[in-house]
Chain A
Amino acid sequence: MSTPLLETDGLTKRYGSRIGCAGVSFTLWPGEVMGIVGESGSGKSTLLSCLAGHLASDAGQIRYRDRHGETHLPATMSEAARRRLAREEWAYVHQNPRDGLRMGVSAGGNIGEPLMARGQRHYGDIREAALSWLERVEIARDRIDDPPRAFSGGMQQRLQIARALVNNPRLVFMDEPTGGLDVSVQARLLDLLRGLVRDLGLSAVIVTHDLAVVRLLADRLMVMQGGYVVESGLTDQVLDDPQHAYTQLLVSSVLQV
């Protein structure tokens, strides 16, 4: 835990005059899971998209240290270089599996694609990796040639996670990975995610409005409101002893459910 993996400083993104996120500064350490919570429209997805390089920020800085110890400023990199960095170091899990999967391509092809994108050219090895990842996300091996269309929502999300992790990313961005799923399916997915994060020693930034998700997965927490981070700290501390009025409201409204 000697040097930070990801650091932001005053990260800001506006949509015209509307604030997406503003003045976000934080540090993510290797192996750490950061949760981002807040109500709808508070800027969680905007922040995550800026971090992952899907959106260009208007102000502020992002620094990322890669596996070779080299520091990158994604905002100043060419698109080709930024995409290469993302391919080699990061993964992104979308709320809707349709956004993270190729629905017309088989499960094996979906898992294999990131490998092929990094130059893997041995069919047998790609297939082996796909099979082993299917198993890891609890999808039967004999579904390898089925398209995601033929999968349930929970299976699709697990497939998306396999596709995201097959390249051994160091940092995973997840936007509501359990959103849109039945409660029982959510629980199973959460279990799976927790196991993977622990086993692989992943660093992650997870956006959710579900406090149970952060309770289970996140080491630290940032609470967003109106585009700003209003409170941050260790997950248990923030949830058990919220300081900011908004966080108190958020926590109590969950407790009431």
Chain B
Amino acid sequence: MSDYNFAYLDEQTKRMIRRALLKAVAIPGYQVPFASREMPMPYGWGTGGVQVTAACLVPEDTLKVIDQGADDTTNAVSIRGFFARVADVATTQRTVEASIIQTRHRIPETPLREDQILVYQVPIPEPLRFLEPRETQTRKMHALAEYVLMHVRLYEDIARHGEIAKSYAYPVRVEGRYVMDPSPIPKFDNPKLGDCPALQLFGAGREQRIYALPPYTRVESLDFEDYPFKASKPDQPCALCGASDSYLDEVITDDAGSRMFVCSDTDYCRERRAAGHRGLMAAPFEDDADAELPQ
């Protein structure tokens, strides 16, 4: 029995969210207020992203949900399960198969396409919040494009740590106008925000804000001329697939505290292994267990 509408939200709510999305697309990087609804999950679970996804879904969609790059965390599994139930859409763990990808904290390694939408779960949409707690003030700063506080903060970082220490939620300037928080993605992902063929939508449930990057938007990470932005990551290849171009998570492999670095994007890692790539600590890939390990 289904006593809810397609994709859970009623049509009126979806229309309201779509209007906010259209406005967000029309003004890249601008935070559009919307009337966030109660969802059958806690705020920390990305209710903003869930509502955006619900407003975008059509029956033909194929949905992928990732949490820190992985399809199999509790959060990702339940959101995927939720939409499979309330919208009856196809789901996938493969980036290339998905038409909508809801994400928390990562951008997939596999380049996105024009026929894809990336939906971000956003905890705190206001990039100036930690510098200026008053909403009236941050609104004024956005309206006047007075963003000097962001650079003051970067200055303080360099003065204190010798470099810009911020490694997540690294602020960006959109089309030379609005400063935007890209959500807590690692700064390694920042270069993928700009000039991206896919539509990128950001939803913050608790804070009731939606913002967007239309395809092929100019996105610049804030920096100084003599301390240019660097999309850094651990300086080694993935232990499983050998990739040296992907963002890595450090995982502890046994009780003795042995550690290895593996792709945070589980789909990317799996596809590479399926294609025969091997890292130094790779077990033989399940599909071709006979393959030789590299020396």
Contacts and interface: CB of A to CB of B under 8 A. Distances in A.
Interface of A: 79-80, 83, 102, 105-106, 108-109, 112-113, 116-117, 121-124, 126-127, 144-145
Contact of A123 (B146, B148, B158): B158
Contacts of B223: 121
A208 B281 CA distance: 74
B226 interface: yes
Give the 4 A-B CB pairs with smallest separation, nearest first.
A117-B148, A123-B224, A116-B151, A122-B225
Contact of B152 (A102, A121, A144): A102
B160 interface: yes
Given A113-B152, A121-B224, A122-B225, A79 B144 contact: yes
A127 B152 CA distance: 12
B176 to A, nearest CB: 12
Given A122-B224, A122-B225, A83 B144 contact: yes
Contact of B155 (A79, A83, A108): A108
Given A106-B156, A108-B159, A116 B148 contact: yes
Nearest to B223: A121
Q: Is the interface of A mostly helix, strand, loop or mixed?
A: helix
17 contacts: A102-B152, A106-B156, A106-B159, A106-B160, A109-B156, A109-B159, A112-B152, A113-B152, A116-B151, A121-B225, A123-B225, A124-B226, A126-B155, A127-B159, A144-B159, A145-B159, A145-B160
Interface string B122-157: 000000000000000000000011101001100110
B152 A123 contact: no
Nearest to B148: A117
Nearest to A107: B159
Nearest to A127: B159
A106 B227 CA distance: 19
A122 B225 CA distance: 5
Contacts of B156: 105-106, 109
Given A122-B224, A122-B225, A123-B227, A116 B144 contact: no
Most central of B155, B158, B224, B227 by chain A CB within 10 Å? B155
A109 B152 CA distance: 6
Contact of A109 (B155, B225, B227): B155
Contacts of A123: 155, 158, 224-227
Nearest to B144: A80
Contacts of B144: 79-80, 83
Interface string B217-256: 0000001111100000000000000000000000000000
A79 B141 CA distance: 12
Nearest to A147: B156
B155 A116 contact: yes
A222 B156 CA distance: 42
Contacts of B227: 123
A224 to B, nearest CB: 31
A204 to B, nearest CB: 24
A254 B160 CA distance: 48
A153 B160 CA distance: 24
B226 A122 contact: yes
